[in-house]
Chains A and B, each alone.
Chain A
């Protein structure tokens, strides 16, 4: 199993550009999450999904959108990139909402200039 994979690993965006961060898991997990990690701030939940076709906002959803058309994929969309979105983005998955372990991908480092 590859676990949770994310692409790209690193990206530089100009202000106002858009992009999609890709996330795929091969563990047949129903629950998937997007976090952002800022220095000294821990991990903040952006969006999560409880299954294909179902998504919900987390703690910091503004400026982002998600979709979940399959169990495996959970892309995160940035429509109008802003410097405040410079961060490291992690995708994670778990077997169930009450599952105790979240499995994280390697992260995408995004720089918005």
Chain B
């Protein structure tokens, strides 16, 4: 079964610090790796995404690092702010069999002011 393993389950970071969330996948038939951000009481929303032919993608304070050989990717949030406090999901989209998206279990981030 295709899986995406995400860690840590929860994370507390001081304001201004770096938040790092890691994900690993087991199937090579993925072609797109998005990160979704979810605030309490809301649905997930796409934050940033990367394709496997790129090792890094940066959008503002958010950076994805991708290691294809290790089948790992991570989200780095620089200068973390209290407004970043949310649950973050990594995901991987298959490139066959319906292009289904598999989600990680989620990381609850709390940024202390």
Question: What is the interface of chain A, defined by CB distance below 8 A to chain B?
Answer: 4, 35, 40-45, 48, 56, 58, 90, 92, 97-98, 100-102, 104-107
Residues of chain A with a CB closer than 8 A to B42's CB: 106-107
Which of A40, A102, A106 has a CB less than 8 Å from the CB of B9?
Answer: A40
CB distance from A97 to the nearest CB of B (A): 5
CB distance from A37 to the nearest CB of B (A): 8
CB interface residues, B 21-45, toward A, < 8 Å? 32, 34, 36, 41-45
Which of A4, A56, A102 has a CB less than 8 Å from the CB of B98?
Answer: A56
CA–CA, A105 and B98, complex, Å: 21
Residues of chain B with a CB closer than 8 A to A90's CB: 43-44
CB distance from A21 to the nearest CB of B (A): 13
On whether the beta carbons of A97 and B99 are closer than 8 Å, the reply is yes
Is B100 part of the contact surface with A, judged by Cβ < 8 Å? Answer: yes
Q: Which 10 A-B pairs have the closest CB atoms?
A: A104-B43, A42-B103, A43-B103, A42-B105, A97-B99, A101-B46, A104-B44, A106-B43, A105-B43, A98-B99
Q: Encode contact with A along B93-104: 1 for CB under 8 Å, 0 otherwise.
A: 100001111011
A-B contact pairs, 20 of them (CB 8 A): A4-B43, A35-B103, A40-B105, A40-B106, A41-B105, A42-B89, A42-B103, A42-B104, A44-B103, A48-B98, A48-B100, A90-B44, A92-B43, A97-B98, A100-B46, A102-B46, A104-B36, A104-B43, A104-B44, A106-B43
